[in-house]
């Protein structure tokens, strides 16, 4: 944040909104369909959420609408964005961003080769996939590639990232492509109960191992789960509202 101090009420409101937005997408808090692979032998959940699948799940497509980072960091979401940018004749922006990612996380021995390839494809005068970068950023980048290193394209990459975030991303969310993805997305059939019975949205029936205690241990479970130290620890992990529901359930 740019400001050094922010009202605690604003911080808490933002934290609650973030928590409410992401809780349905948390496989532990809200369960996962068709079953929980962490406590069963069924790995269908992982298969349906693999980096590349023919048809994504509805939760996955909805998550792309949270922010641009969710879309561009998902390989399948990035592929859909590329298809959209091709129709708008600006696919070179995403290709440039991906090339910069390869430079940043690629092999040290190939840095010079990758920098030269990026320059020839996207930055050189008359380049076939030239990207639109402001003059100051271009000057810094051209000066930096004289001594290539893996972060030399950072300024140019951030410029293109912000361009896609502010210009292409809003149009992508309003496009027929994204609407069709939402309409055709898969909703896995429910085969199991949820992990935590106190969650309002039922997704699967595999009970949490933490709740599978003998009947005689109910009082001990309540004392242990509702101790100040335990509630403070759960508050840091789950948020205030979830902790309240948890404490009511175990007592």
Q: What is the pLDDT of residues 158-206, one digit of tens each?
A: 999 999 999 999 999 999 999 999 999 998 886 544 445 444 444 544 4
Q: What is the Cβ-side half-sphere exposure of residue 189, based on CA atoms within 13 angstroms?
A: 1
- Evaluate whether residue 99 is within a structural domain: yes
128 and 164 in a single domain? The answer is: yes
The count of structural domains within the chain is: 3
| DSSP one-letter string for 46-76 | HHHTSSS-SS-BHHHHHHHTT-HHHHHTSHH
151 and 167 in a single domain? The answer is: yes
159 and 83 in a single domain? The answer is: yes
Whole-number Cα distances in Å, 21 to 13, 14, 81, 106, 217: 12, 11, 22, 34, 35
- Cα(138)–Cα(155) distance, integer angstroms: 9
pTM of the model: 0.71
CB 123 within 8 A of CB 206: no
Please give the structure tokens belonging to residue 193. Answer: 């109960």
Which ranges constitute the DSSP H helices of 106-239? Answer: 111-118, 135-144, 154-163, 169-174, 176-184, 218-225, 228-238
47 and 139 in a single domain? The answer is: no
- Evaluate whether residue 30 is within a structural domain: yes
86 and 177 in a single domain? The answer is: yes
96 and 173 in a single domain? The answer is: yes
- Evaluate whether residue 69 is within a structural domain: no
What is the pLDDT, as a whole number, of residue 225?
52
233 and 145 in a single domain? The answer is: no
The per-residue pLDDT of the chain, averaged, comes to: 81
What is the pLDDT, as a whole number, of residue 208?
46
Q: What percent of the chain clears pLDDT 70, i.e. is strictly above it?
A: 74
State phi, psi for 56 to the nearest 5 degrees.
Answer: -75, 165
35 and 11 in a single domain? The answer is: yes
Average pLDDT over residues 215-233: 57
174 and 79 in a single domain? The answer is: yes
Domain that holds residue 170: 74-184
45 and 101 in a single domain? The answer is: no
Q: In 3-state terms, what secondary structure has residue 28?
A: coil
161 and 229 in a single domain? The answer is: no
What is the pLDDT, as a whole number, of residue 198?
46
Least confident interval from 86-90, 178-182, 207-211: 207-211
């Amino acid at each position: 944040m740019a400001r050094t101090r922010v009202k605690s009420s604003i911080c808490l409101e933002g934290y609650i909104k973030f928590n409410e937005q992401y809780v349905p997408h948390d496989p532990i808090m809200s369960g996962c369909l068709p079953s929980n692979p962490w406590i069963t032998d069924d790995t269908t959940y992982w298969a349906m959420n693999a980096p590349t699948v023919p048809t994504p799940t509805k939760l996955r497509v909805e998550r792309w609408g949270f922010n641009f980072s969710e879309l561009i960091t998902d390989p399948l979401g990035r592929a859909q964005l590329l298809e959209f940018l091709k129709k708008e004749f600006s696919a070179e922006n995403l290709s440039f961003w991906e090339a910069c990612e390869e430079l940043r996380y690629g092999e040290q021995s190939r840095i010079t080769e990758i920098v030269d390839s990026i320059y020839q494809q996207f930055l050189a005068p008359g380049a076939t996939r030239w990207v639109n970068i402001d003059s100051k950023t271009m000057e810094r980048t051209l000066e930096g590639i004289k001594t290539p290193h893996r972060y030399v394209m950072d300024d140019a990459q951030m410029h293109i990232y912000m361009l896609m975030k502010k210009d292409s991303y809003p149009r992508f969310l309003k496009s027929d492509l994204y609407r069709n993805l939402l309409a055709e997305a898969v909703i896995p059939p429910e085969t199991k109960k949820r992990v935590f019975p106190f969650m309002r949205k039922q997704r699967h029936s595999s009970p949490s191992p933490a709740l599978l205690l003998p009947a005689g241990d109910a009082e001990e479970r309540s004392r242990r789960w509702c101790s100040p130290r335990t509630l403070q620890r759960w508050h840091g992990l789950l948020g205030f509202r979830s902790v309240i529901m948890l404490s009511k359930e175990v007592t």
